[in-house]
């Protein structure tokens, strides 16, 4: 049994926390803090590239899950265990992609957003651990899958 709290029957509290951090990331754009002019253009292009890569990863993850997709950590009753697409390499490509989008936004637009983006990465790490406890309960094959894959970054983490 996981020590990570459920935060609701299907983990609704995790979604609320995500929403708050998304709002903080976007609100950081209005803080009036910008990168120095000498690196601003470079960081804007770099951040855009990272953000676009994140969007691609999210879309591929959602497509691979199909009807099994839910933003909540507890799997939906109709969900099926999937190992195709980006799930061959990582267990949580959607979370990883969203983290890339958040950091891409922070680098391109709002350096202050790096703080809530880091908090979002920590939140997704905790949420994924809670989700994995529920996935192991539901799908016996998940434990073996977890041993073959990484959480967010292939071969690293």
Is 107 within a domain? Answer: yes
Is 6 within a domain? Answer: no
Is 81 within a domain? Answer: yes
Quickly state the pLDDT bin for 47 (edges 50, 70, 90). Answer: very high
> What is the per-residue DSSP string for the chain?
--SS---SSS-HHHHHHHHHHHHHHHHGGGS-----HHHHHHHHHHHHHHHHHHHHHHHHHHHHHGGG--SSSSPPTT-----SGGGGTBS-HHHHHHHHHHHHHHHHT-GGGHHHHHHHHHHHHHHHHHHHHHHHHH-TTHHHHHHHSBSSSTTT-
Domain extent at residue 115? 39-148
Is 116 within a domain? Answer: yes
Is 31 within a domain? Answer: no
If one counts the domains in the chain, the total is 1
* pLDDT of residue 117 exceeding 90: yes
Task: Please tell me whether the overall predicted TM-score, pTM, comes out greater than 0.85 for this model.
Answer: yes
CATH code for the domain of 89: 1.20.120.1630
Quickly state the pLDDT bin for 1 (edges 50, 70, 90). Answer: low
Is 153 within a domain? Answer: no
């Amino acid at each position: 049994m996981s020590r990570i709290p459920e935060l609701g029957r299907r983990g609704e509290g995790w979604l609320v926390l995500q929403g708050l951090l998304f709002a903080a990331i976007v609100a950081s754009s209005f803080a009036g803090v910008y990168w120095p002019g000498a690196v601003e253009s470079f960081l804007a292009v770099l951040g855009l590239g990272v953000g676009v890569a994140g969007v691609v990863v999210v879309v591929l993850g959602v497509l691979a899950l199909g009807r099994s997709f839910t933003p909540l950590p507890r799997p939906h009753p109709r969900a099926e265990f999937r190992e195709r697409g980006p799930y061959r390499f990582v267990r949580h490509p959607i979370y990883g992609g969203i983290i890339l989008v958040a950091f891409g936004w922070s680098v391109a637009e709002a350096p202050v957003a790096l703080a809530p983006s880091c908090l979002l990465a920590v939140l997704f790490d905790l949420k994924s651990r809670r989700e994995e406890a529920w996935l192991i309960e539901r799908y016996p094959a998940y434990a073996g899958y977890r041993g073959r894959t990484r959480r967010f970054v292939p071969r690293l983490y």
